[in-house]
């Protein structure tokens, strides 16, 4: 096609040299210019439509009062977080479409439509890397939540091509489709994993952004990161401006997802915001997936009458945020005007040690099984990271209401009805065989 266009232009230029200057007009250039004008008008129309809706709909609280029904696409939406968001969007009167591949690791060997997924959801079963499927999925859509991703730190360190293709190429495919068919708003699910170690403070009160742990340090069971002079460091809440460290393939690919969306989508008039989720927990987590969230892995062990296995010494800390609080943040990211370009932490604003989390979960499930501290490590794991959520509070009005205990209390009822296959031993052996755990 490129050769044909080139030949046409060359022939036309030769002919045009014989014609009066006033009559020279390249028909190929005209077509290109016309296409560019159409695309520019479409982008501006999308911008103006959203500005009009926003201006007419801002309440005294500064958020949209749901002026209209949106057509919303959630990529990866048949999973844990996306399905809960879909429920709330439907409740709010929106129309919801989901694009999901229904992979066996998350949805079981049959890879069928989950029973918990509302019948009101239009489900397209397909791959985010398939341009044709993506074009179909975004047709007629106003807003996109991009949640589609391969998830798992440990597994990403050996399924490198898979994680890179799904997370990076999948997002690139979506961006190319949006370049041709822009939407009004894009919310991309980013991850706390991109920070690597969280923010620390040294003994003289200076913040330390580049804390890390070497393999040699892990092998000698020196779990806490130290400063350049081997000084002790104290973990503090991690804000969005902390420099990313991306210690795993998963973290790197999630950072790529985030930056690609924030770089490309606004060029086509799309209001874009990234939400960096911390450790989300709640009903519908894939309990049989050994690379899912640590709380779900602990639950799978306990449901099988086995102790939670805790790496290192159990004192590493995390921020656990309940699914309903995450959905709150996602809805606010839809309603809040003038937030294009924002990157926001979504956590609870609290932190607990992994040992504390295992102990609390065991209590709520009424199991008399003590957690097992392995003293082992996994490459790519971090020691401490918990969220500073002050920016999300300020920009979105985000106000998480669940503690770990109140969230687990709700989750426990769902867990009591679940069957989980404990696949952690096989996953641990695979990591150890590859030298990624010891």
Q: Place 45 in a pLDDT band, splitting at 50, 70 and 90.
A: low
Cα diameter, the chain: 94
To the nearest whole percent, how much of the chain has pLDDT over 70?
85
Query: Considering the domain boundaries, does residue 305 fall inside one?
Result: yes
Listing DSSP states for 272-289 in one string gives EEEEEE-EEE-TT--TT-
CB 150, CB 127: distance < 8 Å? no
Measure the CA–CA gap between 391 and 381, rounded to whole angstroms. 26
The better pLDDT of the pair 152, 63 is held by 152
Packed helices 170-180 and 131-138: angle between N→C axes, nearest 10 degrees:
50
pTM of the shown model: 0.85
Measure the CA–CA gap between 81 and 128, rounded to whole angstroms. 17
- The predicted structure's pLDDT at residue 229: 80
Tens digits of residue pLDDT in 378-406:
988 999 999 999 999 999 999 999 999 99
Measure the CA–CA gap between 296 and 45, rounded to whole angstroms. 45
User: Residue 251: beta bridge partners?
Assistant: none
pLDDT over threshold 80, residue 206: yes
C-alpha pair distances (Å), 49 with each of 68, 70, 204, 379: 12, 12, 52, 48
Mean pLDDT of all residues belonging to the chain: 88
pLDDT over threshold 60, residue 7: no
CB 311, CB 218: distance < 8 Å? no
Counting other chains too, the contacts that 264-270 makes at CB distance below 8 Å and 24 or more residues apart are: 264/175, 264/178, 264/179, 265/175, 265/178, 265/186, 266/340, 266/341, 268/43, 268/178, 268/179, 268/182, 269/43, 269/44, 269/46, 269/47, 269/182, 270/46, 270/178, 270/182, 270/183, 270/184, 270/185, 270/186
**Which range, 65-74, 107-116, 218-227, 389-398, is most confident?**
389-398
Query: Considering the domain boundaries, does residue 282 fall inside one?
Result: yes
Query: Considering the domain boundaries, does residue 203 fall inside one?
Result: yes
- The predicted structure's pLDDT at residue 41: 56
- The predicted structure's pLDDT at residue 36: 52
The better pLDDT of the pair 54, 34 is held by 34
**Range in 82-86, 104-108, 346-350, 353-357 with the lowest mean pLDDT:** 104-108
Query: Considering the domain boundaries, does residue 377 fall inside one?
Result: yes
Q: Place 34 in a pLDDT band, splitting at 50, 70 and 90.
A: low
- The predicted structure's pLDDT at residue 130: 98
- The predicted structure's pLDDT at residue 209: 92
- E strand or H helix that includes residue 146: strand 143-146
Question: In this structure, what token pair is assigned to residue 312?
Answer: 């290192």
Q: Place 276 in a pLDDT band, splitting at 50, 70 and 90.
A: very high
Query: Considering the domain boundaries, does residue 62 fall inside one?
Result: yes
Q: How many CB atoms lie within 10 A of CB 423?
A: 16
pLDDT over threshold 80, residue 79: yes
Q: How many CA atoms lie within 13 A of 213 on its CB side?
A: 25
Query: Considering the domain boundaries, does residue 83 fall inside one?
Result: yes
Listing DSSP states for 285-310 in one string gives --TT-TTS-HHHHHHHHHHTT-PPEE
pLDDT over threshold 90, residue 63: no
pLDDT over threshold 80, residue 67: no
Measure the CA–CA gap between 98 and 89, rounded to whole angstroms. 12
Provide the residue range defining the domain that includes 110.
37-433
- The predicted structure's pLDDT at residue 32: 41
What CATH number does residue 283 fall under?
Answer: 3.40.50.720
pLDDT over threshold 60, residue 29: no
Q: Give phi and psi for 322, each to the nearest 5.
A: -75, 150
Measure the CA–CA gap between 310 and 316, rounded to whole angstroms. 10
pLDDT over threshold 50, residue 5: no
Q: Place 222 in a pLDDT band, splitting at 50, 70 and 90.
A: very high
- The tally of domains found in the chain comes to 1
Q: Give phi and psi for 160, each to the nearest 5.
A: -70, -45
- The predicted structure's pLDDT at residue 438: 87
Tens digits of residue pLDDT in 136-192:
999 999 999 999 999 999 999 999 999 999 999 999 999 999 999 999 999 999 999
pLDDT over threshold 90, residue 327: yes
C-alpha pair distances (Å), 375 with each of 219, 310, 324, 384: 10, 8, 33, 16
């Amino acid at each position: 096609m490129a050769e044909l266009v080139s030949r046409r232009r060359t022939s036309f230029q030769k002919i045009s040299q014989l014609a009066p200057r006033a009559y020279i007009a390249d028909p190929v250039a005209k077509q290109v210019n016309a296409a560019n004008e159409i695309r520019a008008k479409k982008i501006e129309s999308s911008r103006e439509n959203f500005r009009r809706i926003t201006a007419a709909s801002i309440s005294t609280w500064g958020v949209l009062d749901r002026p209209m029904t949106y057509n919303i696409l959630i990529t990866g939406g048949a999973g844990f977080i996306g399905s809960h968001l879909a429920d709330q969007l439907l409740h709010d009167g929106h129309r919801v479409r989901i694009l999901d591949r229904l992979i066996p690791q998350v949805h079981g060997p049959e890879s069928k439509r989950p029973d918990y997924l509302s019948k009101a959801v239009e489900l397209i079963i397909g791959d985010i890397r398939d341009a044709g499927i993506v074009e179909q999925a975004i047709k007629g859509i106003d807003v996109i939540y991009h949640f589609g991703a391969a998830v798992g730190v440990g597994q990403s360190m050996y399924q490198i091509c898979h994680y890179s293709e799904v997370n990076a190429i999948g997002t690139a495919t979506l961006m190319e489709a949006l370049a041709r068919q822009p939407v009004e708003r894009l919310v991309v699910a980013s991850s706390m994993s991109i920070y690597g170690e969280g923010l620390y403070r040294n003994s003289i009160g200076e913040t330390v952004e580049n804390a890390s742990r070497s393999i040699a340090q892990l092998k000698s069971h020196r779990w806490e990161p130290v400063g350049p002079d081997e000084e002790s460091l104290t973990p503090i809440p991690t804000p969005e401006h902390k420099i990313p460290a991306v210690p795993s393939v998963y973290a790197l690919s999630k950072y790529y997802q985030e930056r690609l969306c924030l770089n490309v989508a606004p060029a086509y008039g799309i209001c874009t915001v990234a939400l960096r989720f911390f450790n989300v927990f709640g009903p519908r987590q894939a309990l049989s997936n050994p690379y899912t969230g640590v709380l779900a892995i602990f639950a799978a062990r306990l449901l099988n009458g086995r102790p939670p296995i805790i790496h290192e010494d159990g004192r590493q800390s995390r921020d656990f945020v309940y699914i309903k609080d995450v959905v709150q943040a996602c809805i606010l990211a839809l309603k809040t005007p003038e937030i294009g370009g924002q990157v926001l932490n979504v956590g609870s604003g609290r932190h607990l040690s992994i040992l504390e989390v295992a102990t609390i979960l065991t209590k709520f499930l009424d199991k008399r099984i003590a957690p097992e501290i392995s003293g082992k490590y996994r490459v790519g794991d971090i020691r401490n990271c918990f969220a500073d959520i002050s920016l999300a509070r300020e920009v979105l009005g985000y106000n998480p209401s669940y503690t770990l205990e109140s969230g687990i209390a709700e989750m426990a009822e769902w867990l009591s009805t679940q069957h989980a296959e404990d696949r952690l031993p096989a996953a641990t052996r695979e990591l150890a065989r590859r030298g990624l755990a010891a």
